[in-house]
């Protein structure tokens, strides 16, 4: 049995249409996956920066509690370590009226290029109040 030229052309046209549709679906899928991976990568970068900011704020608190840094209000201060370029820290300190000889300290760490920030607040004894009898 031989096929007519008309049937052969029709079959070839259907196969070509299937191939074109398959390629279009594949390209759309690849584009969607690539966009999702890009968003995941950007999100992972922000999470990493937030984690570093939180670590730096805890380190700042430890330095204050160890007496390495005086608990006093500061302006935004850049870190001296070149690995922390773009990072700044700032302290806010207030004396609590309700609780004698107690300070409320707020450490703020910020990554200036991205605006990522971490803020850590705690209460501590006023070191200046301890010297008084």
Per-residue model confidence (pLDDT) at position 6? 62
Q: Please choose, from the candidates 85, 132, 127, the residue with its C-alpha nearest in 3D space to the C-alpha of residue 110.
A: 85
Q: Return the structure tokens found at 125.
A: 């004894």
Helices (H), 1-133: 5-65, 127-130
Residue numbers of the domain that contains 88: 5-130
Instruction: Work out how many domains the chain is built from and give that number.
Output: 1
**Res. 94: pLDDT tops 60:** yes
Per-residue model confidence (pLDDT) at position 132? 46
* pLDDT: which is higher, 10 or 111: 111
**Res. 133: pLDDT tops 50:** no
> pLDDT for 12-52, tens place per residue?
778 888 999 999 999 999 999 998 888 888 888 889 999 99
Per-residue model confidence (pLDDT) at position 3? 59
């Amino acid at each position: 049995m031989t096929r007519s030229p008309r049937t052969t052309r029709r079959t070839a046209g259907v196969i070509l249409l299937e191939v074109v549709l398959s390629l279009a679906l594949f390209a759309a899928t690849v584009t969607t996956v690539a966009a999702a991976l890009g968003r995941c990568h950007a999100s992972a970068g922000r999470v990493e920066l937030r984690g570093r900011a939180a670590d730096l704020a805890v380190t700042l608190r430890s330095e204050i509690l160890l007496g390495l840094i005086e608990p006093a209000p500061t302006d935004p201060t850049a870190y001296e370590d070149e690995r922390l370029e773009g990072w700044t820290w700032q302290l806010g300190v207030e004396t609590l009226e309700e609780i004698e000889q107690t300070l409320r300290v707020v450490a703020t760490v910020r990554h200036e290029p991205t605006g990522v920030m971490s803020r850590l607040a705690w209460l501590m004894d006023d070191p200046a109040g301890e010297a008084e009898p």
